[in-house]
């Protein structure tokens, strides 16, 4: 037997195999992060991609980098036309908490509009490309009315409700003037929350913000002239700026959050099951949010 004839070589091989297995397991659980075994001061990059429907992962990554002592500064990379009001506000609130501990630089990609701009507003510094689509400060709520189609195919809707406004926004009937007024008041209130955040964070007068907070979009170049962003540049420029703000000397180590374990089922299905549920449930408010509507269809995700 080889083990009995060469005990030292056999033992050495066993140790080598154990070490290889250990590092393979470590790489697996760390998600294959490129910077997992790099030591030194790091710039953490948190990405926000597609339509914002859930804040959980972004908030989680911000918290992780905030607690990681090796991460000295954070870049929030945004490529999003916005999304839901609540998740946009949750991410913004987490950014606001983070800037109290570490510097945050918002880097805008192709689109960082509406809710995408909202979450950037809390950063210490906002950078966009000259042609980045941003702005779109506003709120949208969309409804579909299928009453005439229902009548044409010989169907009728029967609704039992506890109050006159319980089925507000129903696709089965036309909206009343009173309902439209109530929803407009609601939209105005949520819009005011957006405007207040931008005016406060960007130190711009309310009068100036209100004059441009009508849903219009801006290029990065236009946004800089208006004071909505601080400088022009791409992701690499934002990382360099962040390293400078974080006091990192030399070439910074760039760290991304640990990758989520690959799921074949999730890859094949994507968000289709969740989208199907929302379609069947017929939630009339599923198209409500800080959303830049013209650029939704170019997003990598589907509207919730």
Asked whether residue 23 is domain-assigned, the answer is no
What CATH number should be reported for the domain holding residue 194? 3.90.226.10
pLDDT recorded at residue 277: 45
Asked whether residue 59 is domain-assigned, the answer is yes
Asked whether residue 22 is domain-assigned, the answer is no
How far is CA 212 from each of CA 18, 89, 110, 227, rounded to the nearest angstrom?
63, 20, 21, 11
Please count the structural domains in the chain: 1
Q: Does position 121 have pLDDT exceeding 70, yes or no?
A: yes
pLDDT recorded at residue 142: 87
Asked whether residue 16 is domain-assigned, the answer is no
For this structure, is 244 an active site residue? no
DSSP 8-state symbol, 257: P
Q: Does position 11 have pLDDT exceeding 80, yes or no?
A: no
Asked whether residue 18 is domain-assigned, the answer is no
Asked whether residue 267 is domain-assigned, the answer is yes
Mean pLDDT of the chain: 83
Do residues 99 and 65 lie in contact, with contact meaning Cβ atoms separated by under 8 Å? no
For this structure, is 166 an active site residue? yes
**Nearest alpha-carbon partner for 213 in 281, 304, 114:** 114
Spatial CB neighbours of 109, under 8 Å, sequence gap ≥ 6: 77, 78, 79, 129, 132, 235
Asked whether residue 74 is domain-assigned, the answer is yes
The single residue of 166, 208, 225, 259 carrying the catalytic annotation is 166
The single residue of 88, 114, 170, 255 carrying the catalytic annotation is 114
140-141: strand order across its sheet: 82-83, 288-291, 140-141
pLDDT recorded at residue 156: 85
Asked whether residue 10 is domain-assigned, the answer is no
Residue 283 belongs to domain spanning: 33-295
């Amino acid at each position: 037997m080889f083990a009995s004839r060469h005990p030292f070589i056999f033992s050495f091989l066993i140790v080598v195999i154990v070490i290889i297995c250990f590092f393979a397991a470590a790489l697996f659980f760390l998600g294959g992060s490129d910077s997992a075994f790099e030591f030194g001061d790091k710039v953490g990059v948190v990405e926000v991609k597609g339509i914002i429907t859930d804040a959980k992962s972004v908030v989680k990554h911000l918290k992780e980098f905030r607690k990681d002592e090796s991460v000295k500064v954070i870049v929030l990379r945004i490529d999003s036309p916005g999304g839901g009001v609540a998740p946009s506000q949750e991410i913004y609130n987490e950014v606001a908490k983070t800037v109290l501990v570490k510097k945050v630089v918002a880097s805008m990609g192709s689109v960082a509009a509406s809710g995408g701009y909202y979450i950037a507003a809390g950063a210490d510094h906002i950078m966009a490309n000259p042609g980045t689509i941003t702005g779109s400060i506003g709120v949208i709520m969309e409804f579909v009315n299928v009453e005439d189609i229902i009548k044409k195919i010989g169907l009728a809707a029967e609704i039992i409700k506890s109050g006159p406004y319980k089925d507000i926004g129903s696709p089965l009937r036309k909206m009343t003037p009173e309902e439209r007024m109530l929803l407009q008041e609601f939209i105005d209130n949520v819009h005011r929350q957006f405007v207040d955040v931008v005016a406060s964070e960007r130190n711009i007068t309310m009068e100036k913000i209100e004059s441009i907070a009508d849903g219009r979009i801006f290029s990065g170049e236009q946004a800089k002239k208006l004071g909505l962003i601080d400088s022009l540049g791409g992701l690499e420029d934002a990382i360099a700026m962040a390293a400078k703000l974080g006091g990192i000397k030399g070439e910074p180590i760039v760290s991304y959050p640990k990758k989520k374990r690959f799921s074949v089922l999730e890859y094949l299905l994507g968000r289709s099951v969740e989208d199907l549920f929302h379609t069947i449930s017929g939630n009339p408010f599923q198209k409500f949010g800080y959303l830049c509507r013209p650029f939704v269809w170019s997003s990598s995700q589907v509207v919730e």
